[in-house]
Structure 1
Amino acid sequence: MWTAPPAVIAPALLSRLPEAQRRLRRSAWADANRGGAPVDSFLEGPCFDAAGNLFCTDIPHGRVFRVSGSQWETVVEYEGWPNGLAAREGELLVADYRHGLLTLDPRSGAMAPLLETVLSEGFRGLNDLILHPDGSVIVTDQGQTGLQDPTGRVWRLHADGRMDRLIGNGPSPNGLVLNRARTHLLVAMTRSCEVWRFALRPDAVVAKANLFFRVPAGTSGPDGMAVDAADRLFVCNPGHGQVWVVDPHGVATHRVDCTGFGRMPTNCAFAPDGRTLVITESQSGSLLAAEIPPG
């Protein structure tokens, strides 16, 4: 801990979920995750497609939005809890807590299951996903795991349909990213306040998984993450209201302080310019934008 304090980056409001599209009500998701308190939205999964369109999810109300300026278009609304998004060849992949891995046509809103079970066993509850250049999809299977039950999983679905269980002992695996060389996977473990790192092999063998970065302890640990062109890691930290900027050696150099808007930055993604970090701030139901200094 003998490092300089992280420099502060101030984000700006990019867009706010319109009042007409907020739904303040109690739900099964709120009962399980917010102590029964009604919520009008809980934004997650920011994602840009190849055309530069920005999408995000609203977990408790089963919505996926396309956002342009102040316009929030509902791409789909369904009986699910969508969390992470990834764009692939004209479609979106959705990590859904209730239904597994889904595909979504952003033009028509049509959805279809891609992976609902592994050997007939259901998931604990998918959270986030990333795409690998080899065509595989890597997902976190978080459920309600934590320090009391460190059995969260990380799965890899190969293009030919094979499945690898890369991690089976995670205390709440959440966001995940690849380093720039695509040689290592980093996974946010929410309940232990850690980011794990391990080599990603072509087979399912995982060895020497290590703790790469630890966020301050508090009411919530690391959530969604992103990586920039300089191989810096960006770690959303709900509870503290920060996005930590971590160099390739695991040292925090900056922090994006979101507390002027709320304390729940849940996920982030880089805009097509590669410099603007877009953050879902779920307490205020907003999208924030932060200009990141060069690495």
Structure 2
Amino acid sequence: MTPEIQILQAELWSSMPDALRLQDRPSGWVTANKPGAKVDSFLEGPTMAPDGALWVVDIPYGRILRVAPDGTWTVMADYDGWPNGMRYRPDGTLCIADYKRGILRLDPQTGTITPLFEGYRSEGFKGCNDLWFAQDGTLFFTDQGQTGLHDPSGRVYRAGPGLSDLEVLLDTGPSPNGLVTNHAGTELYVAMTRSCEIWRMPLFATGTSKVGLFARLPAGRSGPDGLALDRLGNLYVCHASRGSVFVYNPHGDQIARIDCQAFGLTTTNLTFGGADCDTLFITVSDTGIIAKASIKTLLE
């Protein structure tokens, strides 16, 4: 039996202050991705800190921002890069998937940024997009670049807990984007933006096998972006042109949709927060807004 699909409405949590919105600073990212448009920010990579603050990236202007629980925004780093995804490492430092510079490490106390991985076997990355740390500290990240249906050569990488060696898990992806492991650490879910699909990748000591289709999302001007997994194993998928988060149970059945369209259509990424991790914080990038949604009914 197909489960009933719940429709949940997102609420406004915080909007980037006008003083931090940039329009006159040149950006190669805007020129390449939004030609002719006025782009004052493009938020991504939300990450909840232990103190309840939400950290986000601003891709075109190379900024890392902290939003305090009281709604105060602070620029924590401003550098020459295009930061896209961001996650906490088990050691408390932040790691960034940067389109221009690879995988970076950020000291949240000082704002200092240092390179972690700048390429693979003397070859530069196509353009890193998002990253994920498994419970044991294993790093997974996507290298999307300009890949798509015309060029399905995007890569998914893995590095062990010591972060010393890289392994290519997949090199045939049509724009791999957000990613997350299941709770057992035996499977990796990857959003393929241009094909509007979520791929399921079984994980082995070396490599993967029998990669399959887990879910297919509605097509549009873009596709699935950031991913998150709740404590029941339900998968949350941001759609970057539908203003929605689609929710699937562990069997690939859609069980809910979180509607963010009142705030914009470019829902790019999300993270859990709240006392019981029952609130989603969602970046709506076309408007510089962070929305929130309670998922308590999905956890009952």
State the TM-score bracket (shorter-chain normalisation).
over 0.9
C-alpha distance in structure 2 between counterparts of 1:47 and 1:143, whole Å:
23
C-alpha distance in structure 2 between counterparts of 1:219 and 1:6, whole Å:
24
Q: TM-score, normalised by structure 2?
A: 0.94
Q: Which amino acid aligns with 1:55?
A: W
C-alpha distance in structure 1 between counterparts of 2:280 and 2:128, whole Å:
24
Aligned residue for 1:31, secondary structure, equals helix
Q: What residue in structure 2 maps to residue 164 of structure 1? A: 167
Q: Does 1:201 align with 2:214?
A: no
- Summarize deviations over 1:151-205 as a string: whole Å, max 9, x none: 000001123412110010000000001112211000000000000002111212x
Q: Does 1:83 align with 2:84?
A: yes
Q: Which amino acid aligns with 1:12?
A: E
Q: CA deviation at 1:133?
A: 2.2
Q: Which amino acid aligns with 1:20?
A: A
- Summarize deviations over 1:123-143 as a string: whole Å, max 9, x none: 000000001223221100000
C-alpha distance in structure 2 between counterparts of 1:131 and 1:16, whole Å:
28
- Kept after mapping to 2: 8 A contact 1:184/1:197: yes
Q: What residue in structure 2 maps to residue 17 of structure 1? A: 16
Q: Does 1:123 align with 2:146?
A: no
The count of corresponding residues between Structure 1 and Structure 2 is 293
- Kept after mapping to 2: 8 A contact 1:50/1:87: no
Q: Which amino acid aligns with 1:53?
A: A
Q: What residue in structure 2 maps to residue 188 of structure 1? A: 191
Q: CA deviation at 1:253?
A: 0.9
Q: CA deviation at 1:27?
A: 2.1
Q: CA RMSD in A?
A: 1.3
- Kept after mapping to 2: 8 A contact 1:58/1:82: yes
Aligned residue for 1:239, secondary structure, equals coil
C-alpha distance in structure 1 between counterparts of 2:100 and 2:11, whole Å:
33
Q: What residue in structure 1 maps to residue 298 of structure 2? A: 294
Q: How many percent identity over aligned positions?
A: 47
Q: What residue in structure 2 maps to residue 137 of structure 1? A: 139
C-alpha distance in structure 1 between counterparts of 2:232 and 2:122, whole Å:
41
1:281 to 279, 284, 290: 284
Q: CA deviation at 1:19?
A: 0.4
C-alpha distance in structure 1 between counterparts of 2:200 and 2:166, whole Å:
20
- Kept after mapping to 2: 8 A contact 1:27/1:38: no
- Kept after mapping to 2: 8 A contact 1:189/1:196: yes
Aligned residue for 1:32, secondary structure, equals helix
C-alpha distance in structure 2 between counterparts of 1:82 and 1:129, whole Å:
11
- Kept after mapping to 1: 8 A contact 2:3/2:253: no
Q: What residue in structure 2 maps to residue 223 of structure 1? A: 225
Aligned residue for 2:194, secondary structure, equals helix
Q: CA deviation at 1:47?
A: 0.4
- Kept after mapping to 2: 8 A contact 1:129/1:176: yes
2:177 to 170, 174, 184: 174
Aligned residue for 2:225, secondary structure, equals coil
Which stretch has the larger CA shift, 71-80 or 157-166?
Answer: 157-166
C-alpha distance in structure 2 between counterparts of 1:64 and 1:7, whole Å:
34
